[in-house]
Amino acid sequence: MTELTLTSSLVGPIALACIAVPALVASDFRQFRAGRFLFKPLAALAFIWLALVLGATQSVYGQWLLAGLLCCLLGDLLLMPDHSGSFLAGLFAFLTGHLLYMVAFAQLGTAWQIMLLVGVPALLLLVLAARWLLPHVPQPMKIPVSSYIVVITGMLLAAGLTGDQPAGMLVITGAWGFALSDLAVARQRFVAPARVNGLWGTPLYFGSQMLIAGSLALL
């Protein structure tokens, strides 16, 4: 694929994200349910499309990454309904996605020193998130939520392994953006439901997924 062809191919997924994500944010803010069910799948399809355009199926890293992205797309779909069973299924889909990301990142680099450097703020986030969130989580959900916090911390550590690679900055930035966007989801679900949660959490999440998918361009 020539540089011109690649650039032209990127227009589609990037344009889709630029349209669908603001439309989703506006739909959630106005509590327009039909808009949420339309634009959230489209926003998720944007990062899948980007990964495919960048040749996700052509490398071991890309294949594991694409599997993780697909799990996240499934998680996005499962989180659209507002009931606990769907939320738990979505949580499991995202947890699986993070595990697949960890395998993908391990294929890309072995920057153990950078991983240890990233590990300090990652473990700090683990402790602070657990202390802030878990008191608000209903008892039946404490184990799933605690497991998710541990796994996403592991994903941040694994992202640090890529720090010596050209794609490392996109991976690390995307991973941290993903983790921080989950704070908005947790606040909305368990702590303080408010429209403002989606105003920053939704763009941060989808932007982070686009960065992670975009890391394929730098292999």
Q: How far is residue 178's CA from residue 201's CA, in Å, rounded to a whole number?
A: 9
Pick from 42, 53, 34: which is nearest to 202 by CA? 42
Q: Which helix or strand (DSSP H or E) is residue 77 part of? A: helix 60-78
Helix (H, G, I), strand (E, B) or coil at 199: helix
Q: Which helix or strand (DSSP H or E) is residue 117 part of? A: helix 112-133
Chunked into runs of 10 residues, the chain (219 residues) has average pLDDT values of 71 97 97 96 98 96 98 96 88 98 92 84 92 95 96 95 93 97 96 95 98 96
pLDDT of residue 52: 97
Residues composing the chain: 219
pLDDT of residue 193: 94
Spatial contact of 28 and 198, defined as CB atoms under 8 Å apart? yes
